[in-house]
């Protein structure tokens, strides 16, 4: 019995402190905070949480296991989208890992920098007024549920696309990500909202391409967003395409980067032909334009964070 107790205590002693938490100390509104637990010597379920200075929880995401073959390191990663309308200032990130024998707790300060997103005014047409200001019916409620189920999908073992994305449409940028839009409706009602994606204007029928490799989680016609597709790239990371004229993919299809998924249209809540293109990390919309030149999973950033932290410790 004593021998068993000794071995148990020895195992706990060896694993306590084995995990280290790495992250940058600042991030821009509407971008992604990469969170790293490494090395990982046991099976752990990690939760990462963002809190404001009052202690209110803002974002919660799950971590996923990742093996970095270049230096043979096991780690847990968290890819946390930062809301574009979150006020700049001081926040904190908490990480909690639970394993068979141990529980780990980490806390780090975080400063969120301004993304300097503008404001604009939109004059809605009659169709848009009818869509937004008509009471919800059962169909729209079910459509909203299916969309949210797709957006909030978290498959911890999938790695379809970890590199940069491609622009899904050859068109002009008509409305940028992150701006606050004040809308005036013909009925006299006003509203304001944060634009969650990038609008790319093009002629009806212009091909819409998958911005990266992935699996189709949703492909259907919706009242508000028209013909809609959601594609999963990484655990908790999805691309979304709205207002298409037609769709050529189905739920469950696997796509390569550049595969055609539909054609530009003006279906749903739309003023004219365009593609509304979104990228979400952990259900939070982030600026998709950033990822035309930056990988979804930045391995170089991960190794730099670990190296710099170890150098500060003299490791």
DSSP 8-state class, residue 271 = S
Q: Identify the H or E element spanning 136.
A: none
> What digits encode the pLDDT tens for the residues 176-186?
999 888 788 88
Q: What does the alpha-carbon distance between residue 169 and residue 303 come to, in Å, rounded to a whole number?
A: 33
Same domain, 169 and 283: yes
Dihedral sign, CA of 22, 231, 218, 245? positive
What pLDDT is attached to residue 119? 81
Same domain, 165 and 109: no
Q: What is the pLDDT along the chain (315 residues), one digit of tens a residue?
A: 454 443 443 344 334 446 799 999 999 999 999 999 988 876 778 999 999 999 999 999 999 999 887 777 889 999 999 999 999 999 999 999 988 778 889 999 999 999 998 887 777 788 777 777 777 778 889 999 999 999 999 999 999 999 999 999 999 999 899 988 878 888 878 878 888 999 999 999 999 999 999 999 999 999 999 999 999 999 999 999 999 999 999 999 999 999 999 999 999 988 899 999 999 999 999 999 999 999 999 999 998 998 888 777 765
Q: Does residue 27 sit within a domain?
A: yes
Name the token pair of 45: 């379920």
The two beta strands, 180-184 and 119-123, are parallel
What pLDDT is attached to residue 13? 36
Same domain, 50 and 149: no
What pLDDT is attached to residue 179? 87
Q: What does the alpha-carbon distance between residue 305 and residue 75 come to, in Å, rounded to a whole number?
A: 13
Q: Does residue 156 sit within a domain?
A: yes
Same domain, 146 and 261: yes
Q: Identify the H or E element spanning 299.
A: helix 299-312
Are 133 and 189 in contact by the 8 Å Cβ rule? The answer is yes
Which residues fall within 8 angstroms of residue 206, CB to CB, at 6 or more apart? 169, 170, 171, 263, 264, 273
Q: Does residue 303 sit within a domain?
A: no
Q: Does residue 13 sit within a domain?
A: no
Same domain, 29 and 73: yes
What pLDDT is attached to residue 168? 98
Name the token pair of 157: 């073992």
Q: Does residue 279 sit within a domain?
A: yes
Same domain, 171 and 107: no
Q: Does residue 167 sit within a domain?
A: yes
Same domain, 89 and 106: yes
Q: The pTM is what?
A: 0.88
What pLDDT is attached to residue 10? 38
Same domain, 152 and 255: yes
Same domain, 224 and 262: yes
Phi, psi of 269 (to 5 degrees): -80, 90
Same domain, 84 and 215: no
Q: Does residue 76 sit within a domain?
A: yes
Phi, psi of 85 (to 5 degrees): -100, 10
Dihedral sign, CA of 191, 119, 179, 202? positive
Same domain, 204 and 259: yes
Q: What is the CATH number of the domain that holds 157?
A: 2.70.70.10
Q: What is the CATH number of the domain that holds 45?
A: 2.60.40.1930
- Whole domain around residue 270: which residue ranges? 119-129+141-291
Same domain, 124 and 96: no
Q: Count of domains in the chain? A: 2
Q: What does the alpha-carbon distance between residue 282 and residue 80 come to, in Å, rounded to a whole number?
A: 6
- How far CA 192 is from CA of 43, 88, 114, 184, 215, in Å, comes to 45, 20, 20, 9, 33
Q: Does residue 81 sit within a domain?
A: yes
């Amino acid at each position: 019995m004593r021998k068993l107790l000794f071995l148990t205590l020895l195992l706990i002693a060896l694993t306590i402190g084995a995990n280290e938490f790495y992250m940058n100390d600042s991030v821009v509104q509407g971008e992604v905070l990469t969170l790293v637990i490494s090395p990982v010597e046991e099976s752990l379920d990690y939760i990462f949480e963002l809190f404001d200075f009052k202690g209110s929880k803002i974002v919660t995401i799950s971590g996923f296991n990742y093996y970095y073959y270049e230096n043979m390191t096991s780690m847990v990663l968290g890819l946390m989208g930062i809301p574009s309308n979150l006020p700049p200032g001081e926040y904190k990130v908490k990480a909690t890992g639970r394993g068979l024998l141990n529980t780990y707790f980490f806390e780090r300060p975080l400063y969120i920098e301004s993304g300097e997103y503008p404001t604009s005014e939109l004059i809605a047409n009659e169709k848009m007024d009818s869509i937004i200001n008509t009471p919800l019916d059962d169909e729209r409620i079910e459509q909203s549920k299916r969309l949210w189920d797709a957006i909030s999908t978290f498959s911890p073992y999938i790695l379809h696309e970890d590199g940069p994305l491609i622009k899904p449409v050859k068109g002009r940028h008509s409305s940028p990500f992150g701006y606050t839009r004040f809308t005036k409706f013909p009925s006299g009602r006003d509203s304001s909202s944060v634009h969650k994606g990038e609008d790319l204007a093009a002629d009806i029928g212009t091909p819409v391409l998958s911005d990266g490799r992935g699996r189709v989680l949703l492909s259907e016609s919706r009242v508000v967003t028209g013909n809609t597709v959601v594609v999963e790239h990484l655990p908790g990371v999805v691309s979304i395409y709205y207002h298409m004229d037609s769709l050529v993919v189905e739920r469950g299809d696997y796509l390569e980067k550049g595969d055609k998924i539909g054609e530009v249209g003006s279906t749903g809540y739309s003023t004219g032909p365009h593609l509304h293109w979104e990228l979400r990390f952990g259900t939070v919309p982030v600026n998709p334009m950033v990822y035309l030149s930056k990988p979804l999973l930045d391995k170089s950033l991960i190794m730099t964070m670990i190296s710099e932290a170890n150098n500060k410790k003299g490791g």
